[in-house]
Amino acid sequence: MTSDTITTDDGTRIYYKDWGQGPVVTFSHGWPLNADAWDGQMHFLARNGFRVIAHDRRGHGRSTQSSSNNHMNGYADDLAALFDALDLNEVTMVGHSTGGGEVARYIGRHGSKRVAKAVLIGAVPPVMLKSAANPQGLPIEVFDGIRAGVAGDRSQFYKDLALTFYGANRAGAKVSQGVLDQFWLWSMQSGQKNAYECIAAFSETDFTEDLKKFDVPTLIMHGEDDQIVPVHDSARKSVLLIEHARAIYYPGAPHGLTTTLQDRVNADLLAFLQS
């Protein structure tokens, strides 16, 4: 272990950044980004008396582009390895999108002995894929299209995806070119194989039983105009599965609301942390 990486049992190096002092808040990022997607939240909370830690998921950002374990159990085990290496306790776990699934699988697989609270933002649970058991889900063709984009001209695919991610395709949207450019930059830092395999992880993993194991105060935050993870098939179901969870819905907000509504999200996050 160096000052900014840990090495997992299968030899994967997981990069993390660790800012500030105080109660610990960890951040799990969305697909196919990296820890930098949380900078707006981390810097704010570090200035407000918290220790904030975010890692690059295996295959993403500055972590190893591993050939194996690119699935939710692997991601949750990497997070557990980070918690153990840094001996983190009384943690508030925050996860966006795929990272929300990572938080759910961590609690389902490793329990909450190190966890004080949980926050799911635009998160993929309970399960995204349409099936007989989940008729409100998205059809497999949607995810096959994402796979084709990643395996093909992924650079242009990520540029196009940024528009819906931040709602820049909506009339009257005010999303800067810089925001769209940073999405592309972070996405291109992920390994193609890793990003491809992660699609099945975020779309086909069923987190229902994981959510039922939550026994810590939980906040769910979701944009009502989320074009990536539709609110009706995610947050509105998760809040019913997690005991004592409460939800904040943001009218008209996109999937990337941590950026487009950064100040509001930060204020709501801080209030929950201080409650």
- Set 190, 226, 233, 234: catalytic member: 226
The reply to whether 255 belongs to the active site is yes
Cα(118)–Cα(86) distance, rounded to whole angstroms? Answer: 19
147 CB-contact burial (10 Å; exposed 0-12 / middle 13-18 / buried 19+): middle
Residue 97 annotated in active site: yes
114: Cα separation from own chain's centroid: 19
Query: Rounded CA gap, 131 and 149, in Å?
Result: 23
Alpha-carbon Rg for the chain in angstroms: 17
Active-site entry in 97, 190, 234, 238: 97
Q: Does the active-site annotation cover 234? A: no
Distance CA 12, CA 70 (A): 11
Q: Which two tokens stand for residue 154?
A: 């992924």
Options 29, 55, 96, 255, the catalytic residue: 255
Relative to beta strand 13-19, strand 51-55 is antiparallel
Known catalytic residues?
A: 97, 226, 255
